[in-house]
Amino acid sequence: MIIGIDLGTTNSLAACFENGQAVVIPNRLGKHLTPSVVSVDDQGTVYVGETAKERGILHPLETASVFKRSMGTDREYVLSGKKFRAEELSSLVLCSLKEDAETYLHQEITEAIISVPAYFNDHQRKATKRAGELAGLTVSRVISEPTAAAIACGMDQHGKDARYLVFDLGGGTFDVSILELIGPIMEVHAIAGDNFIGGEDFTALLANMFLEKAAIAPESLDLRTAGAVYLSAEAAKCAFSQSSEVIMACTIDGQLVEQTITLAAYEKACSPLLEKLRRPIERSLRDAGVKIGDIDQIILIGGATRLPIVRRFVTRLFGRIPASPVDPDEAVALGAALQCAMKERREEIREVILTDVCPFTLGTEVMANNGLFEEGGHYLPIIQRNTTIPVSRTQTVWTAHDNQTRVNVKILQGESRLASNNLLLGELSLPVPPGPKGSEAVDITYTYDVNALLEVDVRVHSTNVRRKVIIQNQQNRLSDEEAAQRMEQLQYLKQNPRDDEENRLQLLRAERLYEEADPSHRQTIDQAIMAFERVLSQQDRTEIERERKALTKLLDTIEFGI
């Protein structure tokens, strides 16, 4: 039997298909949710789940949580002198879920479908698969969380065609997906998200509010006390579902500290976090080419959607009450279990054909004319984000220098117009006959499948020499730590500084809009950026001001339609 697993930031769970339906597998404590927490004592004993969470209160230095945010990086967690990477800690959680499933089903479990945030990049998806393998599982598929949830909710519609917007706010990540169910076909139209916002951030904000009201500096707390404050904040956050104000209490330096926090004050403090959720929603609607009124149903999944402030935010944004046809904490795991049943060709369910999309743009590095000269470091998209997969695209490029003897193809993933700001997945090189610039044509073909397997085929026209690489391992790429830092840091720090703040502002805004824009606008923005940078280099203030106004007007038109 294959089981479906929702490997979450805060909690994880497994589900299976039995007696004609998907069911959640209870853990060894009889609960559905297993906290994604690992603790190791000085004897080497490993604790997972609720026990690890409990132990972490007293032994915070020997306990790790929220490590899903570090998947695909080289970050190491040191627990009792032992070093663990995020996928190794995740494998311990998966081992626990696997053992619980074997106890419940009375059989050995060797295969699973594991869900990941839709916006996980190539490294993060592969790290998730490695975690499963370390736990002794064959990961037959990595499925996007909103897609899994839509399957679970779609099954309840008894074949009724519908267009969904799935709002997935978990403990540490946020995804929004637009999907459409047409007969037996579940088609993903667009996805967007943010891998660094979730329920944990709403808890941390409440903890900071408590400390601020009590006039206590966070850095003055030891790890154990800070953990206790966080747990108190987590309980208070949940209490807001039943009350408009909560009393947070925690013992600090031997004294009981109490503070009353109202829901209104908390909601106001959460405004920046809520605003951070808005942009991926707008991007997904734009990429899918639909309006809010075109959505038949808004589905909330993820434990953080239980927060009243999140539900009110979604209701105000869409002008209607969202739905939760399946338990928000269980929808993903149930959908993954249904996908397992489809893979096993179970007769009890109506098979759904899934069409997913490529979450990030895939491309390569090229030279481009900035209006004055050819400059390197530009990004050439080959497969645009939100392209239905499996997909194959070919782009022809030409030699960039006289007497060039080799072509080096960098395989990149990301949305920045600058190659250096995107994720390097791999690289290959092949010879070309020397000659004048532009005399040799080279075809670059990217083929991307549903398992995030990317094949790159490069062919020289004149000689028919070709090289092929499959991006499925960890060779020939940036380190995971470098990749994670690149995704997290402000990409614009690499830009040359500008003396005038307004010039900096509009350039940064243009770079952001380039990343968010659909393909039809990207070339226009790229040309506008290069033109403005060209004017800046001439240091004519009158001309700079004129061109800045023109750039601002263009960006206003693209962003606001004015």
Name the nearest CA neighbour of 155 among 347, 325, 329.
Answer: 325
* 410, two tokens: 């960098």
Residues with Cβ < 8 Å from 553, sequence gap 6 or more?
Answer: none
**Looking at 62, 87, 168, 330, which residue is catalytic?**
168
Contact 361, 287 (CB under 8 A): no
145 flagged as catalytic: yes
- Residue 319's CB is within 10 A of a number of other CB atoms, namely 8
Residues with Cβ < 8 Å from 39, sequence gap 6 or more?
Answer: 46, 47, 48, 51, 52, 55, 56, 59, 62, 63, 64, 79
68 flagged as catalytic: yes
Burial (CB count <10 Å: 0-12, 13-18, 19+), residue 159: exposed
Contact 375, 368 (CB under 8 A): yes
CA separation for the pair 90, 82 (Å, rounded): 15
Residues with Cβ < 8 Å from 58, sequence gap 6 or more?
Answer: 224
Q: How far is CA 461 from CA 205, 262, 464, 539, in A?
A: 58, 68, 5, 44
Q: How far is CA 547 from CA 347, 556, 562, in A?
A: 65, 14, 18
Half-sphere exposure of 504 (CA within 13 A, CB side): 10
Name the nearest CA neighbour of 154 among 311, 21, 3, 352.
Answer: 352
Q: How far is CA 49 from CA 97, 241, 470, in A?
A: 10, 25, 37
Contact 252, 230 (CB under 8 A): no
What's the distance, CA 374 to chain centroid?
34
Q: Would you give the DSSP letter of residue 418?
A: B
In the chain, pLDDT over 70 holds for what percent of residues? Answer: 93
Name the nearest CA neighbour of 147 among 21, 415, 343, 334.
Answer: 334
For position 472, what pLDDT does the model report? Answer: 58
CA separation for the pair 14, 5 (Å, rounded): 4
For position 155, what pLDDT does the model report? Answer: 55
For position 478, what pLDDT does the model report? Answer: 39
Which residue in the block uniquely carries the two structure tokens 């004519």?
A: 540
For position 492, what pLDDT does the model report? Answer: 26
Full 3-state SS string of 23-49:
EEECCCCCCCCEECEEEECCCCCEEEC
Residues with Cβ < 8 Å from 127, sequence gap 6 or more?
Answer: 71, 72, 86, 87, 90, 480
Pairing of strands 454-460, 297-301: unpaired
CA separation for the pair 191, 182 (Å, rounded): 18
Q: What is the pTM of this model?
A: 0.77
**Looking at 145, 200, 201, 329, which residue is catalytic?**
145
CA separation for the pair 44, 33 (Å, rounded): 25
* 454, two tokens: 């990317």
Torsion region of 457: left, alpha or beta (phi above 0 gives left; psi -120 to 50 gives alpha): beta
In one-letter notation, the amino acid at residue 448 is Y
Q: Which residues in the chain come in under a pLDDT of 50?
A: 473-479, 482-499
CA separation for the pair 258, 249 (Å, rounded): 4
Q: Give one DSSP letter per residue of 377-389, joined into a string.
A: EEEEEEE-TT-EE
Contact 418, 378 (CB under 8 A): yes
Beta bridge partners of 252: 255
For position 488, what pLDDT does the model report? Answer: 42
**Looking at 53, 62, 68, 330, which residue is catalytic?**
68
* 528, two tokens: 């506008």
3-state helix vs strand vs coil in the chain, percent to 5: 40, 30, 30
6 flagged as catalytic: yes
Give per-residue pLDDT as tens, 498-519. Answer: 346 578 778 878 888 898 788 8
Give per-residue pLDDT as tens, 209-227. Answer: 999 999 999 999 999 899 9
Name the nearest CA neighbour of 382 among 356, 410, 355.
Answer: 410
Contact 6, 35 (CB under 8 A): no
